[in-house]
Amino acid sequence: MAEPTDPLASWAEGQPVRVDLRGRMLGHYRLIKHLGSGGMGSVYLAEPRLGGPQVAVKVLHPELSQDAALRARFSAEARTVNLIGHPHIVRIFDIDDAREGPIYFVMEYLQGTPLSCMPRPMEPGLLVWLLSQACDALEAVHRAGVVHRDLKPDNLLLVERPGEAPLLKVLDFGVARTHPEASSRELGPGGQVFGTPAYMAPEQWAGEPVDGRSDVYALGVTGYLLVTGQLPFSRGQQAQRVFAPHGPPPPRAPHELCPGVPESLSHVLLRALARQPWERFASAADFKQALGQAVRAQPRVTPGVEARPSRPRGPAHPVRLEPNDPTPPPTWVARVRHAEGCAPLVVHCGGLDAQGLIMSCAEPAPPPGTHLEFSLQMGGEAVECVGEVMRHVDAVQARAQSLPSGVALRFVRPSARLQELLQRLGPARAAPPPH
């Protein structure tokens, strides 16, 4: 049989080659430019068929499409991002993981500079200003029960909008995992380790359970590199940290390498790099607080000039942000009990009011009339709830109301405590009823 000439036909037949999909239609999007490739997929600049802002489309590599585990991992990246919904995390608009075609998801197209391309050593105030935004994103990620596991300067993008201050975005959740799952040193195609070695915490290298403190470690490595111009550990020292009984001595303090670095900032970064997780900051929020106490979280500016960092130098990352993007509406996290003996499924919710909410979910969505048991995180506590599926909310309806796509739930026999917390929302925060 002759080799297929259609890239999509090659994909469907599982040919072990990477195909160029420029000029093709994937769903409602025409791929017009290849922007780059990673271990899991390729990213294209795309235009919606019916018009609108350009987007970025990430497509799973064809040679990986026959591996069910890798297909699930790729789809989970998009779902992970959507579950969290945070202004410092790249937004996902659409996902298609149908088994009969290419797996892809559609995300915002950002224009900016990855921190790996910014000049270093970096001015301490600018560093703290950037890391503080990354900590805000990580705190939201960890509260949703997710560990990023591949934080590094390439995945931290400084974007700019006309008339607005620069904004840091956290990218690439391709190896993210929920806390119970993030417990093994997983291998990808060809046996490579998921994650970037120079930024991986010792427990991640050793295949031990990881949590948010592993991301704090990676952000500490990033901060050390940016403020000193060098990594804290050589490859040999990194291996010692994992396998030697006591490991190598701590890295040199940043203020010893760069006299302009405050000693207080050195102490904060070295604590984030501690070998044992319990010796680091307990959370990204604690890391941010310590950074702010060590250095004023703002770059030095000329008197009379607006207090904002200068435009970063270096090549632009091939993604662009929509102008005038509104502040996202309030979101909540729920943990749904979906099977006996399985860990609860962490989901993102929106449109919460006294009657019910919109719960994000993947296809196939549960049919109307289904009762779901879940705990809803409200007011710093988890409240047990039962909801009845009233209808499905498709992507078009969701975008029109700035809500997640999924199902609209009506509370069934809400407890007195749930009713009390719902009353505290107030009319200003109550979203349009989901029924």
Q: DSSP for 416-430?
A: HHHHHHHHTT-TTTP
Residues 6 or more apart whose Cβ sits within 8 Å of residue 202: 241, 242, 247, 275
Q: Are 200 and 213 in contact (CB under 8 A)?
A: no
Other residues' Cβ atoms within 10 Å of the Cβ of residue 344: 17
Q: How far apart are CA 334 and CA 346, in angstroms?
A: 6
Length of the chain: 435
Q: DSSP for 206-233?
A: TT----HHHHHHHHHHHHHHHHHSS-SS
Q: How far apart are CA 402 and CA 407, in angstroms?
A: 14
- The amino acid present at 409, given as its one-letter code, is L
CA quadruple 176, 360, 321, 88: dihedral sign: negative
CA distances from 64 to 45, 58, 74, 221 (A): 21, 14, 10, 31
Within the chain, what is the greatest distance between any pair of CA atoms?
A: 72
Q: Characterize the bridge pairing of strands 55-60 and 41-48.
A: antiparallel
Q: Are 21 and 59 in contact (CB under 8 A)?
A: yes
Q: How far apart are CA 280 and CA 220, in angstroms?
A: 10
- Catalytic residue, chosen from 97, 150, 154, 215, is 150
Report residue 183 as tokens. 């417990």
The answer to whether 67 is a known catalytic residue is no
Residues 6 or more apart whose Cβ sits within 8 Å of residue 181: none
Active-site residues, by number, are 150
